[in-house]
């Protein structure tokens, strides 16, 4: 199974944690369509941890969906999700228990892959808790990679070992299509900027068919839900979305998509930013930062069509002039080239620049542009 663009979808964990139920999942599938997510390219609806009974079936040894949360079983949920034209994702773990203490897939990989295939699952997030001390993480991901490939159904393999064991070095070989590279995101500015910047020098390993996953987005949570913590405002969320799109990271929403503000919708449905995220060349950005203010950064990304994307970030708590020396992006004065910038939020051409460009940016905010190289 080949995945040519970073996966896009929604996952239950950030907002709902263990508080999941068939009716909420059906409503989310409805919202997925009604709110225009599917039209914008979002595709996978994923149920995270806490979906099963506390024990496996004593006779068949199979995983069993919680009778209370999913009274009609998982196949019925999959059928509903598919009836909306969406793909259905589920969750398991390479250890004996999942992170929230439900049965894990250790030593049951092939049986569980079979069960997921029978339920018509299209995506499996695979976590890393309660792994026996003697079991090697790389080997267990390898094993589930083979189990999924051999289960008779195309199932996207989403690895989640939080960036441990130098995962970027070997994960492509396991058959995974995306891999979590960091610990869990929290809904605050510090958490998501640290997560994003921790991968600055590792994004070169992210490429078609195996993408670096810097976790589910918190956009639109405003402090509510499981990873709510202090919450963010719309400025923070704009910066989060631009960071993820400039990397070409998977875009898995984590807010309650049944109740989104207009600002949230406008942001996550921004077609121009989504196109940057999904760019088929999948090149990581080049970074530069202000000589003495590490909070002022600029990123420059080559796009497949010969154009570029540029983002200016102010991670600081006060407004700041964020500069870019074009020479550091390979555009010296001697090239005779200038950069024409089109704002990705307004669609407006803001100007044509040579050598150097600087934008005043409010605290925590960013600016994102399509950049075209032009001559006089
Ligand atoms: C964590 C994982 C989270 C979520 C949680 C479920 O290990 O990083 O994204 O899946 O487990 O218990």
Which structure tokens are listed for 86? 């969406």
> Which helix (H) or strand (E) is 274 found in, with range?
helix 271-277
Sign of the dihedral through C-alpha 91, 3, 240, 261: negative
In a domain, 147, yes or no: yes
Judge if the beta carbon of residue 184 lies within 6 A of ligand 1. yes
Per DSSP (E only), the strands in the chain are: 8-11, 44-46, 87-93, 123-127, 156-160, 178-180, 211-213, 251-253, 286-289, 296-302, 308-314, 320-325, 338-343, 349-353, 356-361, 366-374
Q: Which of 184, 234, 272, 343 is catalytic?
A: 184
**277, 308, 336 — which closes off a domain?**
277
pLDDT of amino acid 225: 94
Judge if 304 and 156 occupy the same domain: no
In a domain, 16, yes or no: yes
Total tally of structural domains belonging to the chain: 2
Judge if 246 and 177 occupy the same domain: yes
Distance CA(326)–CA(312), nearest Å, equals: 13
Q: What is the pLDDT along the chain (376 residues), one digit of tens a residue?
A: 999 999 999 999 999 999 999 999 999 999 999 999 999 999 999 999 999 999 999 999 999 999 999 999 999 999 999 999 999 999 999 999 999 999 999 999 999 999 999 999 999 999 999 999 999 999 999 999 999 999 999 999 999 999 999 999 999 999 999 999 999 999 999 999 999 999 999 999 999 999 999 999 999 999 999 998 899 999 999 999 999 999 999 999 999 999 999 999 999 999 999 999 999 999 999 999 999 999 999 999 999 999 999 999 999 999 999 999 999 999 999 999 999 999 999 999 999 999 999 999 999 999 999 999 999 7
Q: Ligand 1 center to residue 374 CA distance, Å?
A: 46
Judge if 242 and 293 occupy the same domain: no
Q: Ligand 1 center to residue 127 CA distance, Å?
A: 7
Q: Which residues of 33-72 are buried (b: 16+ CB within 10 A; e: fewer)?
A: eebebbebbbbbbbbbbbbbbeebeeeeeebbbbeebbee
94 contacts 128 by C-beta, under 8 angstroms: yes
- Sort 314 into a burial class: Cβ within 10 Å, 0-12 / 13-18 / 19+: buried
Distance CA(334)–CA(337), nearest Å, equals: 8
| Closest ligand 1 atom number to CA of residue 128 | 7
Q: Give Cα separations from 17 to 20, 70, 231, 254, 344 (angstroms).
A: 7, 15, 16, 10, 33
Judge if the beta carbon of residue 18 lies within 6 A of ligand 1. no
pLDDT of amino acid 241: 98
**Nearest alpha carbon, ligand 1 atom 1:** 99
Judge if 318 and 200 occupy the same domain: no
Instruction: Provide the residue range defining the domain that includes 172.
Output: 8-277
pTM: 0.98
């Amino acid at each position: 199974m080949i995945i040519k663009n970073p996966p896009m979808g929604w996952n239950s964990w950030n907002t709902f944690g263990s508080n999941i139920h068939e009716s909420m999942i059906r409503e989310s599938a409805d919202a997925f369509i009604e709110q225009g997510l599917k039209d914008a390219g979002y595709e996978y609806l994923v149920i995270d941890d806490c979906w099963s009974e506390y024990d496996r079936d004593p006779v068949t040894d199979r995983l069993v969906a919680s009778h209370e949360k999913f009274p009609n079983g998982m196949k019925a949920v999959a059928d509903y999700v598919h009836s909306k034209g969406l793909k259905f994702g589920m969750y398991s773990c390479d250890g004996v228990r999942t992170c929230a203490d439900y049965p894990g897939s250790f030593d049951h990989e092939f049986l569980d892959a079979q069960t997921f295939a029978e339920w018509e699952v299209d995506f499996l997030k695979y976590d890393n808790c309660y792994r026996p001390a003697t079991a090697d993480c790389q080997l267990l991901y390898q094993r589930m990679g083979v189990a999924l490939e051999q289960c008779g159904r195309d199932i996207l393999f989403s690895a989640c070992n939080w960036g441990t064991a130098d995962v970027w070095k070997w994960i492509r070989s396991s058959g995974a299509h995306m891999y979590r590279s960091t610990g869990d995101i929290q809904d605050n500015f510090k958490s998501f900027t640290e997560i994003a910047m921790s991968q600055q020098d590792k994004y070169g390993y992210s490429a078609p068919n195996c993408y670096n996953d810097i976790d589910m987005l918190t956009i639109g949570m405003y402090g509510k839900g499981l990873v709510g913590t202090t919450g963010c405002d719309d400025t923070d969320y704009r910066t989060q979305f631009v960071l993820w799109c400039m990397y070409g990271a998977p875009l898995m929403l984590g807010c309650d998509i049944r109740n989104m503000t207009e600002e949230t919708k406008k942001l996550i449905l921004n077609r121009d930013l989504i196109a940057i995220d999904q760019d088929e060349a999948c090149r990581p950005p080049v970074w530069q930062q202000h000589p003495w203010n590490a909070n002022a950064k600029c990123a420059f990304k080559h796009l497949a069509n010969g154009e570029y994307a540029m983002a200016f970030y102010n991670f600081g708590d006060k407004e700041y002039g964020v500069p870019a020396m074009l020479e550091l992006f390979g555009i010296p004065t001697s090239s005779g080239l200038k950069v024409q910038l089109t704002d990705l939020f307004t669609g407006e051409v803001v100007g044509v620049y040579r050598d150097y460009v600087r934008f005043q940016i409010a605290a925590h905010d960013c600016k994102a542009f399509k950049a075209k190289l032009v001559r006089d």
